[in-house]
Amino acid sequence: MNYSLLYDLLVILLLSVGVTLLFNRIKLPSIIGFLVTGMLAGPYALGLVKLPAKVDNVAEMGVIMLMFTIGLEFSVQSLGRIKRAVFLGGTLQVGLTVAAVAVLGVAAGNTFSSSVFWGFLLSLSSTAIVLRLMQERMEVESVHGQIVLAILLFQDLAVVPMMLLIPLLSGQASGNPALALVLMGAKILGVVAVVGLGVRYLMPKVLLAVARTRSRELFLLTIIGTCLGVAVLTQQAGLSLALGAFLAGLIISESEYSYEAVSSVLPFREVFASFFFVSIGMLFDVHVLLAHPVEIVLLTVGVILLKMLLTPVATAFLRAPVNEVLLTGMALAQVGEFAFVLSRAGLQAGLIKPDSYQIFLAISVLTMCATPGVLALARPVVGWVMRLPWPLELEQRLHVSPKPPTPALAVEAPPLTDHLVVVGYGLNGRNLVRAAKFAHLPHIILEADADKVHRGLKRGERIIYGDVTHEHVLEHLGVARARVVVVAISDPSASLRAVAAIRRLNPLVCILVRSLYVYERKSLYHVGATEVIAQEQETSMEVLAHVLARFLVPLADIEEVIGELRHGSHAMLRPHSLSSAAWSSIHVGLSGAEVATVPVEADPHTCLAGEQLSEVELRRLGLCLLGIRRAGAMLESITTDTEIELHDTLYVFGKPDKVKQLMGKIQVMEAA
């Protein structure tokens, strides 16, 4: 590294800070700021960067780190859970896009090879931009968020065979093309075998040995070395560095050290990924846009609309609701960062001309810049489309819920009244259904995942498939006759629309909503929620209760603190999960004995309240009374004549079994 490169890096860093701060003020993501930074600093604008080729080498590390962290945050098990969306949805999305673009290209007079290559480029979407925006909008856990994640993963993997097909398309491949494809498949299988052996045998032992040294430096060097080593291995095998980095992350993700690895590598990823997007911006020639503004804008709009149309067609076979399918199409309506890597190889192979290459860069950068606006408009646009008659008819035709096996003479179940409606059959929904069965409560379940519906029907659940925002679905659930509706889904915006739709049908029904964060409650109450239970707040209350109990704070005081913290909010005023007995069992151990708290909470005629200490005979039980807390203060003077009062808290010292014996005596008295 010489002075010139240091100068270029300094210019990029300083300019990135200024541009990104400006973009944050106008609510645009930092990635767009990096792209604009590259445009300004590049050779086609201000020309501040003197060695763009060396900056590209630094930026290549951004691709490697990006794919490495994707692999770290993923796992073989995660891939298994969404494998249908990855392989079916991803294959259809890439295949349909390549086919459509190839047909359009041939019709426009281009060669077949060039048209197919353009299909490769336009079939890819931006993993970095889309996932970052969806994380900010808390949509990754939604139905369309999971589909988007699956398709993006398939696209990242599809870059590898696309790169290998470039010599075949350009006619530069030597030998038999069929043999080349077989060799490519053999290389991929060989790399997968190496990864499998690494996951099972090598990396667990290596990482264990490194972790035992307790050296953060050695751990970081091992992680980075694994990433670069596997990346170079795949490059030597004729595959891409990006695939190798992803596989390296996948190897480490299966170990117990994956979370520490992510936290260690994340700062490097952010820095190098920033340089990657800056380098993309430097490739963009602003003069091309100024020379052909109408043509480029029309092509950009055409690419966005084409991907918006083709992606929903591909994902319709995943049996997702129509609105989720449409949201998926809008989320993936841009050209991805790996298309730039692919385009460079195509330019060198002659599949794309230099002028067309600059037009492609302009289209790609503009689609990336348009992505935040497209995602912001996605909900309103899809909401308007769903009010039309054809989406409902299409959903009924394509996504008929499987029916459970029933006897030939089965009688249709009568409509439910005064019942419980559970929206979402995840962990919260399943637990709620178990409780409803235990209490013999009439209930019905709504789920938007067809596979979960199918499994529920096999188990005999009363569950239907559909979108909670559709009025006809709510009518089928009997929401107008229900007593309680519980919305237990992970998509905040979907929960908001669900509450509004339910409240319109039944102004009197009790609507309980599970939210992730406290700040979501205000909007949910505004549209009609009865109670909103914020997971963030309830977790904090449970932690608070257990911490105070460990310091022997009386249960009444803990409840008072929690009540004060809840005061003035719309949160449901419920106590924490600690019962009196559970709270009292939280103690401080001292060499086989313990200091324990014994609350006196019961009817005065059936417990220790009203008795004198001499009558309790604590010493006969082998217990020593340390003090009595009454009305928030410790009694200063305690004698054998001191009378125990209701709501007192006794602090006793002794063996655990004797403490339990005293507690058992109180509980027996309470039950008497």
pLDDT tens-place string over residues 2-37: 557 788 888 888 888 888 888 888 777 777 788 888
Q: Which of 269, 585, 176 is nearest to 261 (CA)?
A: 269
Q: State mean pLDDT over 46-57.
A: 74
Tell me what pLDDT residue 496 has.
87
Better-predicted residue by pLDDT, 107 or 62: 107
pLDDT tens-place string over residues 57-66: 776 777 777 7
For the ranges 83-92, 267-276, 560-569, the one whose mean pLDDT is highest: 83-92
**Number of Cβ within a 10 Å radius of residue 148:** 29
pLDDT tens-place string over residues 175-207: 666 666 677 677 777 777 777 777 667 777 787
Q: State mean pLDDT over 120-149.
A: 80
For the ranges 143-152, 232-241, 523-532, the one whose mean pLDDT is highest: 523-532
Tell me what pLDDT residue 591 has.
55
Tell me what pLDDT residue 671 has.
42
Q: Quickly state the pLDDT bin for 664 (edges 50, 70, 90).
A: low
For the ranges 401-410, 483-492, 558-567, the one whose mean pLDDT is highest: 483-492
Q: What sign results for the dihedral spanned by CA atoms 343, 346, 350, 352?
A: negative
Q: Indicate whether 169 pLDDT > 60.
A: yes
Tell me what pLDDT residue 1 has.
46
Tell me what pLDDT residue 581 has.
52
Q: Which of 194, 185, 192 is nearest to 164 (CA)?
A: 185
Q: What sign results for the dihedral spanned by CA atoms 538, 539, 542, 543?
A: negative
Tell me what pLDDT residue 175 has.
60
What percentage of the chain exceeds 70 in pLDDT?
82
| Rounded (5°) CA angle 552-558-563 | 175
Q: Quickly state the pLDDT bin for 627 (edges 50, 70, 90).
A: confident
- The burial of 641, by beta-carbon neighbours within 10 Å (0-12 exposed, 13-18 middle, 19 or more buried), is given as exposed
Q: Indicate whether 659 pLDDT > 50.
A: yes
For the ranges 276-280, 349-353, 507-511, 520-524, the one whose mean pLDDT is highest: 507-511
Q: Quickly state the pLDDT bin for 117 (edges 50, 70, 90).
A: very high
Tell me what pLDDT residue 73 has.
66
Q: Whole-angstrom Cα distance, residue 270 to residue 265? A: 9
Tell me what pLDDT residue 78 has.
62
Better-predicted residue by pLDDT, 267 or 582: 267
Q: Indicate whether 420 pLDDT > 90.
A: yes
Tell me what pLDDT residue 585 has.
52
Tell me what pLDDT residue 96 has.
93
Tell me what pLDDT residue 304 has.
93
- 42 token code pair: 């590049």
Q: Average pLDDT over the chain, rounded to whole?
A: 78
Q: Quickly state the pLDDT bin for 607 (edges 50, 70, 90).
A: low
Q: Quickly state the pLDDT bin for 405 (edges 50, 70, 90).
A: very low
Tell me what pLDDT residue 259 has.
63
Residue 651, CB-side half-sphere exposure with 13 Å CA sphere? 16
pLDDT tens-place string over residues 318-362: 777 788 888 899 999 989 878 887 888 888 888 888 888 888 888
What percentage of the chain exceeds 90 in pLDDT?
10
Tell me what pLDDT residue 450 has.
65
Q: Indicate whether 50 pLDDT > 50.
A: yes
Tell me what pLDDT residue 605 has.
47
Range name among 192-196, 330-334, 366-370, 372-376 with the lowest pLDDT average: 192-196
Question: pTM for this one?
Answer: 0.62
Q: What sign results for the dihedral spanned by CA atoms 348, 354, 356, 358?
A: positive
Range name among 110-114, 243-247, 324-328, 448-452 with the lowest pLDDT average: 448-452
Q: Whole-angstrom Cα distance, residue 331 to residue 130? A: 7
Residue keyed to tokens 């353009």:
118
Q: Whole-angstrom Cα distance, residue 672 to residue 663? A: 14
Range name among 68-72, 233-237, 409-413 with the lowest pLDDT average: 409-413
Q: Indicate whether 107 pLDDT > 50.
A: yes
* Structural contact between residues 142 and 132, judged by C-beta atoms closer than 8 angstroms: no
Q: Indicate whether 625 pLDDT > 90.
A: no
Position 568, amino acid: G
Q: State mean pLDDT over 98-123.
A: 91
DSSP string computed for 567-623? TTS-S-----S--HHHHHT--EEETTEEEEEEE--S-TTSSSTT-BHHHH-TGGGT-
Q: State mean pLDDT over 292-313.
A: 90
Residues 6+ apart with CB under 8 A from 354: 347
Q: Which of 624, 648, 628 is nearest to 637 (CA)?
A: 628
